[in-house]
């Protein structure tokens, strides 16, 4: 270990301006954590764009990690950060500031009396940990159900409910977690009818009831599964699921990490399905790119758990700095009518994607709500054979052409291109993104990559 010398000597080998380098250069001192590093360094960001060390602009169709819902470095968010930095940034967890209390009040006003008690945390996984912990304490059970293509986080209780990630090699997960089949309408069997997903839900719970040891606590769901492939349950599904929870004394947890705060054309994606969950978790979009999350439940559940000494005492619970950012983000979304704008811009994006589907047989499905969309690549539309490598190639080509976009590559399904651009994106930028996707598909088809 080197403990003496000047800092400049430690950074002598840093990359110089305009240098060319490889991914190996970039990652030589980093633990690689799943997502492949791209061969560039980001120097600045603005709105819908990120700019690398050479000044090359890349249109960002993923809002960072699906989080920068108001675009990168929104002027009012930046101004709020600067002002908040001169006030309390971090405090002892038993001390509260006005911003923390106000953010909890605003969330309660948005969600109504059935969801009016919040705890403010840092990440989506952390908020799901708190939700699962509340559900276990409230019900007295420990068995948790999640969709088999779900992603709810990487931490202790959240990771076992994350079935879309690689699970092998980490030892046994916490006991009691069971999978429900994802209601994946596009891949419904040819022989199945319109009620197939609801029938499968009935069958799944019959199996769950046989496996359960009588300790069912909760189901945790994304109203639209993102990492699982931008999959939305069909109409009536989540209502039926909530009914099955109530029949068994379970709670329904809605993970709105990516769908919350207007992205789908409603303030919360649960509104599309006519349900109010027992617990809702928010993250990503709540901080507009900064680490901020919330777990929100009813006064009844909160009181019951408080009486039984609910414990979720973390270093950054109720931190004032991110709370200020969350307040400003919600203020902008409401003031500028971002929810209705997301619905209108989403319709514009959807029209562009459907036009791509008409021209390219490799696009099997176009789906999503608002500015939360996906296209699924297949080798042909009859068999719906997955085109995972082709989808990855299209994503790489998009990057080369100046579009940052995410591809889902899960076993047994096609490559699904995920889109979650910021709500501040313009129609012209949406059109540009669709045009780049079109060019990337055309290039990859010309190279014969669909046959691989």
The whole-number pLDDT of residue 6 equals 56
The whole-number pLDDT of residue 414 equals 64
* Bridge partner residues of 282 (DSSP): 294
Cα separation of 296 and 120, whole Å?
Answer: 9
Q: Give the residue-averaged pLDDT of 150-157.
A: 93
For residue 248, CA distances in Å to 133, 206, 284, 297, 354 come to 18, 12, 31, 19, 42
Catalytic residue among 263, 324, 367, 418: 418
Among 150, 241, 168, CA closest to 204: 241
Catalytic residue among 60, 129, 255, 302: 255
Active site residue 191: no
Active site residue 331: no
Cα separation of 118 and 264, whole Å?
Answer: 22
What CATH code is carried by the domain that includes residue 352?
3.90.1150.10
Cα separation of 164 and 147, whole Å?
Answer: 9
Confidence class for position 43, pLDDT limits 50, 70, 90 = very high
The whole-number pLDDT of residue 37 equals 84
Cα separation of 241 and 319, whole Å?
Answer: 35
Catalytic residue among 284, 324, 328, 367: 284
Burial of 5 (0-12, 13-18, 19+ CB in 10 A): exposed
Residue 253 near residue 279 (C-beta atoms within 8 A): yes
The whole-number pLDDT of residue 10 equals 45
- Residue 1 located in a structural domain: no
Q: Give the residue-averaged pLDDT of 357-378.
A: 97
Radius of gyration of the chain (CA): 22
Q: Are residue 148 and residue 252 in the same domain, yes or no?
A: yes
Q: Are residue 181 and residue 295 in the same domain, yes or no?
A: yes
Catalytic residue among 222, 256, 376, 429: 222
Q: In the predicted model, is pLDDT for residue 23 greater than 80?
A: no
Active site residue 44: no
- Residue 2 located in a structural domain: no
Active site residue 381: no
**60-119 confidence digits (pLDDT tens):** 999 999 999 999 999 999 999 999 999 999 999 999 999 999 999 999 999 999 999 999
**412-423 confidence digits (pLDDT tens):** 566 899 999 999
**348-363 confidence digits (pLDDT tens):** 999 999 999 999 999 9
Q: Are residue 364 and residue 250 in the same domain, yes or no?
A: no
Active site residue 255: yes
**139-151 confidence digits (pLDDT tens):** 999 999 999 999 9
**272-306 confidence digits (pLDDT tens):** 999 999 999 999 999 999 999 999 999 999 999 99
What CATH code is carried by the domain that includes residue 305?
3.40.640.10
Cα separation of 19 and 36, whole Å?
Answer: 20
The whole-number pLDDT of residue 168 equals 87
Count Cβ atoms below 10 Å from residue 87 Cβ, excluding itself.
Answer: 12
Confidence class for position 202, pLDDT limits 50, 70, 90 = very high
Q: Are residue 102 and residue 241 in the same domain, yes or no?
A: yes
- Residue 161 located in a structural domain: yes
Active site residue 117: no
Element (H, E) at 363: strand 363-369
Residues spanned by the domain of 326: 80-335
Cα separation of 71 and 422, whole Å?
Answer: 5
Catalytic residue among 258, 324, 341, 376: 258
């Amino acid at each position: 270990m080197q403990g003496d010398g000047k800092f400049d000597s430690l950074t002598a080998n840093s990359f110089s301006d305009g240098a060319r380098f490889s991914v190996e250069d970039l990652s030589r001192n980093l633990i690689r954590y799943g997502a492949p590093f791209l061969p560039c360094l980001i120097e600045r960001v603005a709105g819908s764009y990120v700019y690398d060390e050479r000044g090359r602009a890349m249109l960002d169709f993923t809002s960072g990690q699906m989080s920068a819902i108001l675009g990168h470095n929104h002027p009012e968010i930046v101004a709020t950060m600067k002002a908040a930095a001169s006030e309390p940034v971090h405090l002892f967890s038993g001390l509260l500031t006005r911003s923390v209390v106000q953010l909890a009040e605003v969330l309660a006003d948005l969600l109504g009396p059935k969801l009016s008690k919040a705890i403010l945390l840092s990440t989506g996984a952390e908020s799901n940990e708190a939700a699962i912990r509340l559900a276990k304490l409230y019900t007295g059970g420990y068995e948790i159900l999640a969709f088999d293509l779900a992603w709810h986080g990487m931490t202790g209780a959240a990771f076992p409910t994350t079935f879309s990630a690689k699970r092998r090699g980490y030892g046994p997960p916490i006991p009691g977690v069971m999978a429900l089949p994802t209601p994946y309408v596009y891949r419904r069997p040819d022989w199945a009818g319109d009620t197939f997903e609801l029938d499968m839900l009935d069958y799944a719970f019959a199996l769950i009831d046989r496996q359960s040891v009588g300790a069912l606590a909760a189901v945790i769901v994304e109203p639209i599964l993102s990492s699982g492939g931008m999959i939305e349950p069909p109409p009536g599904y989540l209502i039926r699921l909530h009914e099955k929870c109530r029949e068994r004394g379970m709670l329904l947890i809605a993970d709105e990490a990516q769908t919350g705060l207007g992205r789908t054309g409603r303030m919360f994606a649960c509104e599309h399905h006519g349900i109010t969950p027992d617990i809702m978790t928010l993250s990503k979009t709540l901080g507009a790119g900064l680490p901020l999350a919330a777990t929100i439940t009813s006064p009844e559940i909160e009181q019951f758990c408080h009486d039984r000494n609910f414990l979720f005492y973390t270093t950054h619970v109720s931190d004032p700095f991110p709370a200020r950012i969350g307040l400003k983000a919600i203020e902008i979304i409401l003031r500028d009518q971002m929810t209705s704008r997301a619905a209108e811009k989403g319709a514009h994006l959807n029209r562009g994607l459907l036009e791509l589907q008409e021209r390219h047989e490799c696009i099997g499905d176009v789906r999503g709500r608002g500015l939360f969309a996906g296209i699924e690549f297949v080798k042909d539309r009859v068999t719906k054979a997955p085109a995972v490598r082709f989808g990855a190639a299209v994503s790489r080509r998009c990057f080369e052409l100046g579009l940052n976009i995410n591809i889902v590559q899960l076993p047994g399904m096609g490559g699904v291109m995920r889109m979650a651009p910021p709500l501040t994106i313009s129609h012209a930028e949406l059109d540009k993104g669709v045009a780049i996707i079109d060019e990337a598909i055309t290039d990859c088809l010309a190279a014969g990559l669909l046959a691989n």
